[in-house]
Amino acid sequence: MTQILIRFLIGGLVVSAFAVVGDLLKPKSFAGLFGAAPSVALATLGLTVATEGAAYAATEARSMMAGAIAFFAYASFVSWVLMRYKPKALWVTICSIPVWIGVAFGIWEVGLKQ
């Protein structure tokens, strides 16, 4: 219960800080980049270092980076399909999820598997 409370507090503070940074930047479309995901990741890594140690947190951090790379590949693919063929966004985003999963597992297989 204590960890949940700490995650809530740290996450809320860091989300607020990232929201302020996003609000200060121009164009305003950058504000979404500074949303909840980075702050939750930082709070999780901080708690992991405190409870499990730095080596375990390093493994989590590498996994988070692989997930971010996979998401970038997914978002790039979805953007390309939407701009080129002009289909409905819902179908493209749903049908492209295997791209995200494939890239994530590919990175895991090549670089993270132990």
Number of helical (H) and strand (E) elements in the chain, helices listed first: 5, 0
Contacts of 40 (CB under 8 A, 6+ apart): 7, 11, 15
Q: Give how far Cα 66 sits from Cα of 23, 27, 37, 101, Å.
A: 28, 27, 14, 11
pTM of the model: 0.72
Residue 58 near residue 36 (C-beta atoms within 8 A):
no
pLDDT average, residue stretch 88-95: 95
Tens of pLDDT along 13-56?
Answer: 877 777 777 777 766 666 666 665 676 777 788 888 988 999 99
pLDDT, position 78: 95
Dihedral Cα 55, 11, 26, 71, nearest 10 deg: 50
